[in-house]
Structure 1
Amino acid sequence: MAVIESQLDTQSEDYQNNHKVMTAAVDEFRGIERRVIEAAQAKAPRYIKKGLIPPRERLSLLLDAGSPFLELSTLCGYMQEEDTDGSAAGGSYIAGIGYISGVRCVVAVDDYLTKGGSISPLGGLKRMRMLDLALENKLPMVNLSQSGGGNLKLVGDTFGTSGAMFAKQCRLSAAGIPQITVVHGSATAGGAYQPTLSDYLVLVRKQSTMYLAGPPLLKAATGEIATDEELGGAEMHSEIAGTNDYLAENDADGIRIARDITAKLGWNKRQSLPPQIDHAAPLYPAAELRGIVPEDAKTPFDMREVIARVADGSDFLEFKGDFDNGTLCGHIEVEGYPCGVIGNNSPITAKGAAKAAQFIQLCEQSGTPLLFLTNTTGFLVGTEPEQAGIIKHGAKFIQAVTNCTVPKITILIAGSYGAGNYAMAGRGMDPRFLFAWPRSVVSVMGPAQAGSVLRQVAEAKVLRSGGELNEDTLAFIDGLEQETIQDMEARSNALANTARIWDDGIIDPADTRSVVAFALSVCREGDDRQVNTNTFGVGRL
């Protein structure tokens, strides 16, 4: 064993301050999540009177009691689009990975208490991300649907690509991965295709409706007058059109049927049971992870301190430890699951890039998943790095990250800048899972750097045009520089990034080990599973 001996002084003033700042950041995002739930729950009583179960209670009824549930992208859309106060964060969609009748599934519940469950562009991206997770990890997908459909004020900007969500549903069915949908309310127009493209459909008597055009639109378009039930009621779809598969008596009965269907899939019968692996806990408390990242982003820290609190037994077999210490590579286990880990202690050099690319190929050879712990300002620049072949070796690193087939899991610990974001398996490189710590930053460069670059460009433009850098000109350039800095700071922080689905959610640093272990187990199960594929998916006949 190569146990990491921590050098972290948890009694120091710096550690205590770092812990305080990170805890405040954790409290901030948890507080936003809580306020969204409270705002939704305040509207629940009038729906309960109508016999409807609130969205999060539906989720509780659907999931196995006491089983783990990893909720994803909880702050999707935060302070974006029409969310002016943060109360609509989440994309009107509660989604994650959990257990239903003993089967691990992607679980999605329309939050009809938040903006009527309507789908904004970012909410649509969250929905497509869940479909991608189901496909990539071979997880059945269970939907509890009650949505107002696309947000008509915003859909004009995204309608041209909106069919991608339905295309993903079709591909999921063809890949042999079942989708189960319970419609708890009305599903109209495009919204009617989501449940109908599912493999199993449950409608609720006297409550669910599905049609391409509701009674008002039908009358306006054709003059025909019809009731909800005649056009698209649950009984009509069950007895006449044959669109529906199972007729439920109420909300709770529909959820019961969804659980029964999941149980009858026999999803785990052909799956070999995972071996029971004994594993040691890290030697250091997980809570200490909150005190590792300095308040000042320019202050370096040793990523080994993070590894020591994530790895089983704090055991880290470092690869090429004497060859460029700025890029860490090595093998660990997390709750018994082996993985290769790549972390940053400094900007990525030519040597560091070559080392990481070689390590990725070794993990590919052995089928070992990769964990990226990111804190990088990017690739080192300057005459010496250029002459050392930083572009060439950096390209090798990025190519290895892109083309490796083993699962990639990324944790944004602190900074993730420029092409370093690509090399460290940022969102554009399609990691299986990507989570962020609360004070992390993702940006093309630092805000101060960006402001300085634009300042130099503006000054050069003035001089090139024959002007002079007088008091008025400099005041304008000062304003441009400050505006750039403020704009980039606002757009690159963790809350802004998670709002745009640049990650799968912000996590408490103290939860890093359990989240990574859960993600590794999902990847392991998906990669081991054999599914029955077909060409066109299951047609609703």
Structure 2
Amino acid sequence: MVTVLGTGLDPSGAEYAERRTAMLAKLAEIEEAHARATEGGGEKYVARHRKRGKLLARERIELLLDPDTPFLELSPLAAWGSDYQVGASLVTGIGTVEGVECLITANDPTVRGGASNPWTLKKSLRAHEIAFANRLPVISLVESGGADLPSQKEIFIPGGALFKDLTRLSAAGIPTVAVVFGNSTAGGAYVPGMSDHVIMVKERAKVFLGGPPLVKMATGEESDDESLGGAEMHARTSGLADHFAVDEPDALRQARRVVARLNHRKAHPDPGPAAPPRYDEDELLGIVPGDLKAPFDPREVIARIVDGSDFDEFKPLYGPSLTTGWAALHGYPVGILANAQGVLFSEESQKAAQFIQLANQRDIPLLFLHNTTGYMVGKEYEQGGIIKHGAMMINAVSNSKVPHLSVLMGASYGAGHYGMCGRAYDPRFLFAWPSAKSAVMGPQQLAGVLSIVARASAAAKGQPYDDEADAGLRAMVEQQIESESLPMFLSGRLYDDGVIDPRDTRTVLGLCLSALHNAPVEGARGGFGVFRM
């Protein structure tokens, strides 16, 4: 029996038009931020880079990838809102090279010579985490002057994890390839040094632990870049270079040949063509209300992202504030948990825990679609066991072994963010829509709580309470929490893997599902810890 979802969405209605307009306005802000990331260091430094006959980071990636295949860029807004360039002087993402899905990192040398700052480090570590969990070969397109020295106190000590990751990837049988286009100095020299395969570009690559000035200061020895760390020296003398390229296109061609010879195979074969949803993906723009207190039906989203809009709902009459059920997405089976009315009650929590266990029994990945204000509070619900039931759901999420994907569509507040597999619960991938917001609680609620506590404190001390100052404090707190709960702020801190256009959700999730099936998909058969009943 085919269980195709119906739709109650009216694309010609005023409510739909209002929601669509609000979403498009938010998307315009995201696109502007993405444009800042792709500008790199700006026109002056891009022109200087091109004058040297070099390709830009994204141009290198484009030549590396199979023609007409997608590139899923990750964390493009890293460092947004900080003192560093948006994008963190590094491009990371997943693309296909010689038919093999790979995790690709590329330094952007137009931003301070590709030097690594604290956000570059966080972005690199997240990329390696994705590669390890999904068994994706790693290709590093290297041109970096190493650590951004003024911020060394924040990156030197934790930065060693980058090199540790490369060795652990190799030890796990996950191939690592380094293509060196320019500087790869000091600690950066260990990227090619710890990669399985190394390609260097003639008269451009410079790989050494210490450059000529440092060597002169340390030993008194006179040297030059080429004899100290040039590509030809490493190809002929030191043996660090496995392949010697005459120019950048040649280096990328050789990198493709290296990948072609890896004999790297996916743990699960691709499922083949799948039926598209029966409803227009463009309609995803008009589903989420501008006011996240207003509920929306997540089935309208599910109907526009899953194969054939076919969805077998699990426990539809029990715990209706959480929609759960089975579907396929680009041919891959998925179990879906989607918040409906925002609040999670005891019934929803127990339903989620059972559903997560079933997915683990069947080795089916889970997709979490967030729109929750958290678990319900109040005397009735506390007495009804909301803590132990919420803990049951969080326990199930924490100990589930199947891959998890999360998409923040609307609100994702409080412990509900945890129960729906927020960043701290290690989803394989987590993306946000421009409409999403995430914080410990809503701005008005948080400001109100602080006001109540301050008022009670004043009363306990027998002091008068300044209502005018209270109003000003509440407004300031509300503004701060609102700004810190928005997608660009959270994405800038790498709390997600990117802010995406809702219309791209099916494509993005399909690419993620394909990538994660490079590794075995196996669920927990127990070991969920103690469920408090």
For normalisation by structure 2, the TM-score amounts to 0.94
Q: Could you say which residue in structure 2 is the equivalent of 1:220?
A: 217
CA offsets, 1:226-264, max 9 Å, x none? Answer: 211232222222222222211111222111111111111
Mapping of 1:64-213 within 5 angstroms? 64-80=66-82, 82-83=83-84, 88-213=85-210
Q: Could you say which residue in structure 2 is the equivalent of 1:14?
A: 15
Please say which of residues 240-249 and 43-52 is displaced more in the overlay: 43-52
1:272 offset after TM fit, Å? Answer: 6.7
Q: What is the root-mean-square deviation of aligned Cα atoms in Å?
A: 1.7
Indicate yes or no: 2:481 matched with 1:484: no
CA offsets, 1:147-176, max 9 Å, x none? Answer: 122222223134332212221111101000
Q: Could you say which residue in structure 1 is the equivalent of 2:529?
A: none
Cα distance between partner residues in 2 of 1:148 and 1:462: 56
Cα distance between partner residues in 2 of 1:56 and 1:326: 43
1:273 offset after TM fit, Å? Answer: 4.3
**Aligned with 2:233 (options 208, 215, 236):** 236
Cα distance between partner residues in 2 of 1:129 and 1:79: 19
Percent identity between the two aligned chains: 43
Mapping of 1:312-351 within 5 angstroms? 312-346=307-341, 347-351=343-347
**Partner of 1:400: helix, strand, or coil?**
helix
**Partner of 1:162: helix, strand, or coil?**
helix
1:64 offset after TM fit, Å? Answer: 0.8
Cα distance between partner residues in 1 of 2:375 and 2:456: 26
Cα distance between partner residues in 1 of 2:487 and 2:285: 15
1:44 offset after TM fit, Å? Answer: 2.8
Cα distance between partner residues in 2 of 1:176 and 1:414: 39
8 Å CA contact 2:375, 2:386 repeated in 1 = yes
Change (3 A) 1:159 1:482: farther
Give unmatched runs, 5+ long, in structure 1.
530-541
1:317 offset after TM fit, Å? Answer: 0.9
Q: Could you say which residue in structure 2 is the equivalent of 1:385?
A: 381
Cα distance between partner residues in 1 of 2:453 and 2:404: 39
**Aligned with 1:418 (options 404, 414, 420):** 414
Cα distance between partner residues in 2 of 1:39 and 1:237: 30
1:40 offset after TM fit, Å? Answer: 4.5
Mapping of 1:50-65 within 5 angstroms? 50-65=52-67
**Partner of 2:264: helix, strand, or coil?**
coil
Please say which of residues 68-77 and 42-51 is displaced more in the overlay: 42-51
**Aligned with 1:308 (options 291, 299, 303):** 303
8 Å CA contact 2:200, 2:251 repeated in 1 = yes
Return the letter of the residue paired with 2:315: K
Return the letter of the residue paired with 1:211: F
CA offsets, 1:395-423, max 9 Å, x none? Answer: 11001111111110001001100100100
**Aligned with 2:255 (options 255, 258, 264):** 258
Cα distance between partner residues in 2 of 1:140 and 1:510: 29
1:528 offset after TM fit, Å? Answer: 6.6
Please say which of residues 219-228 and 120-129 is displaced more in the overlay: 219-228
**Aligned with 1:49 (options 51, 69, 72):** 51
Q: Could you say which residue in structure 1 is the equivalent of 2:277?
A: 282
Q: Could you say which residue in structure 1 is the equivalent of 2:514?
A: 521
Return the letter of the residue paired with 1:260: R
**Aligned with 1:500 (options 490, 493, 496):** 493
Q: Could you say which residue in structure 1 is the equivalent of 2:525?
A: none
